[in-house]
Amino acid sequence: MAIDETLEHVWADVVTRNPGEPEFHQAVHEVLSSIAPVLAKHPELAENKTIERICEPERQIIFRVPWVDDAGEIRINRGFRVESNSALGPYKGGLRFHPSVNLGIVKFLGFEQTFKNALTQMPIGGGKGGSDFDPKGRSDSEVMRFCQSFMTELYRHIGEYTDVPAGDIGVGAREIGYLFGQYKRITNRYESGVLTGKGITWGGALVRTEATGYGAAYFAQQMLRARGTDVEGKTFVVSGSGNVALFAIEKIHQLGGTVVACSDSHGYVTDANGLNLDTLKDIKLVGRRRVSDYVESHPGAVHVSDGSIWDVPCDIAVPCATQNELTARNAAALIRNGVMAVVEGANMPATSSATSAFLEAGVAVAPGKAANAGGVATSALEMQQNASRDSWSFEYTEQRLEQIMSGIHAACYETAEEYGAPGNYVVGANIVGFLRVSQAMIAQGII
């Protein structure tokens, strides 16, 4: 994917002004490679320098997070919140706690989030945050003390009308609980709309936990139907075994597909008959253990600790772990094995060369900003319920999620066609997101 010469100066500027941030460069490169046709059709976008402005986050916050571990030792982590764009609503996006977190990663995630949130058509801007804190192996009280320290700085930057964080890698219901408790304690406000992903009994929304994975499965269904086929009878490989992966597996099975492999950072497990989700949930959600334990109760399954999950043959690949987990070499293996579609549950899970290889081979690619948008869309539904002090049923909320995913699919599909790239969801998603954000920015002046 190449950048049109009219946008080369934007690219050069981004690289110069953001040294040492390869993931941010990669995310920007993909969008710049897609939007030349829309700039040609709408010259006001270039005149108003909307892409230049979107590439510069509105605000970037970096802070110290000191805490005390169970042994009494003082620990120091770094906290981030990048408030990328507020054209369409308050900054909205998750918090990631993982040792790999740095400013460039948070900026790429906030940049992606801006387009993703626009695709949902909900009133939310884009942002992302997190810390290089590693929750693995930490006790609940250590995680609580860390979250309390993190929120002691973050609270002054967020709010129902300002910035609304949620979960991401390493941040689930437990962490959101501790973060919300500390926000309430400092501000003396029960401000439900300040965080999403809350517990169901205290302001959370049904379906939010399942939403990202379910949404990705719905997107896969739409894509396959657009190609004249369906999920029924297809074989899937889903990487990861966290929040997104587990509920993608659940919905794929409900839709009649079979997921034969999933993974964590220590390897992958294959089960030719289809993975047993109860076992996986027990291992990952209840026990916070490793997928290698799966084989203990399923003797027909195999755990592989030193290979790639993408060598497992499948019809549809659903990467749900982390950025750049699927390389050109992995793409070649999948293509050789006859993959027909890639549905990105994670954010930017395929390297640029992997994505290009898929597109050249005629494999449909659903980019993360479209396929995993169900999570943040349902966060926006949680905000809607909080604002009206209401709570909706599981069935109604899931119906809304399904409608939103169909809307995103249709917008990407039709826009790709309109701009001369039929079937290219990467181009479709980037153009739709860019147009919606740009038009709102132009209406709001030079800000």
Pick one of 57, 89, 93, 367: the residue that binds ligand 2IT (CB under 6 A). Answer: 93
Of 314 and 318, CB closest to ligand 2IT: 318
319 near 239, Cβ under 8 Å?
Answer: yes
Query: What is the residue whose two structure tokens read 């609270």?
Result: 155
Interatomic CA distance for residues 225 and 58, integer angstroms: 39
Q: Which one of residues 355, 379, 397, 424 is an interface residue with ligand 2IT (CB under 6 A)? A: 379
Contact 335, 363 (CB under 8 A): yes
**Residue 356 or 386 with smaller CB distance to ligand 2IT:** 386
Among 376, 383, 435, 437, binds ligand 2IT (CB under 6 A): 376
- Scanning the structure block, which residue is given the tokens 């049109």? 4
196 makes contact, choosing from ligand 2IT, ligand NDP, none, with CB < 5 to 8 Å by partner type, with ligand 2IT
Nearer to ligand NDP, 38 or 271 (CB): 271
CA distance 160 to 31: 29
Q: Does 95 bind ligand NDP (CB under 6 A)?
A: no
Helices (DSSP H) in 255-393: which residue ranges?
A: 277-281, 294-297, 328-336, 352-360, 368-371, 373-387
Rounded CA-CA distance 223/301 in Å is 30
Within 301-424, residue ranges assigned H as helices are: 328-336, 352-360, 368-371, 373-387, 394-418
> Rounded to the nearest whole angstrom, what is the least distance from the CB of residue 376 to ligand 2IT in the complex?
4
Smallest distance from the beta carbon of 378 to ligand 2IT, in angstroms? 7
How much of the chain is helix, strand and coil, in % rounded to 5?
50, 15, 35
Per the rule left: phi > 0, alpha: psi between -120 and 50, beta: everything else, 64 is beta
242 binds ligand NDP (CB under 6 A): yes
Q: Which stretch binds ligand 2IT (CB under 6 A): 21-29, 87-95, 331-339, 429-437?
A: 87-95
In whole angstroms, what is the distance from residue 337 CA to residue 325 CA?
18
From candidates 31, 105, 106, 320, binder to ligand NDP by CB under 6 A: 320
The verdict on 271 binding ligand 2IT (CB under 6 A) reads no
Instruction: Name the nearest CA neighbour of 238 among 294, 310, 340.
Output: 310
In angstroms, what is the minimal distance from the CB of 212 to ligand NDP? 4
94 contributes a contact to ligand 2IT by CB under 6 A:
yes
Active site residues: 128
345 lies in the binding site for ligand 2IT (CB under 6 A): no
Report yes or no: 344 and 368 within 8 Å, Cβ to Cβ.
Answer: yes
**Other C-beta atoms within 10 Å of 256: how many?**
12
105 sits near ligand NDP (criterion: CB under 6 A): no
Residue 200, amino acid: I
What angle separates helix 8-17 from helix 22-32, to the nearest 10 degrees?
170
What single-letter amino acid sits at 252? I
Which residue lies nearer to ligand 2IT by CB, 42 or 369?
369
Shortest Å, Cβ 112 to ligand 2IT = 7
The 372-391 contact track toward ligand NDP, x by CB under 6 A, reads x--x----------------
We find the least distance from the C-beta atom of residue 165 to ligand 2IT, in angstroms, to be 7
Contact in structure between 290 and 279 (CB atoms under 8 Å): no
Which two three-digit tokens encode residue 293? 């334990």
CB of 136: closest distance to ligand NDP in angstroms?
Answer: 7
- Kindly compute the dihedral angle of the four CA atoms of residues 277, 282, 286, 291, in this order, to the nearest 10 degrees: -90
Q: Which of residues 158-177 bind ligand 2IT (CB under 6 A)?
A: 166, 168
The residues in 113-152 that bind ligand 2IT, with binding defined as CB under 6 A, are: 113, 116
The one segment of 229-237, 305-313, 373-381, 400-408 that binds ligand 2IT by CB under 6 A: 373-381
Residues at the contact surface with ligand 2IT, assessed by CB under 6 A: 92-94, 113, 116, 166, 168, 196, 347, 375-376, 379
Residues at the contact surface with ligand NDP, assessed by CB under 6 A: 94, 98, 100, 167-170, 212, 240-245, 264-266, 320-322, 345-347, 372, 375
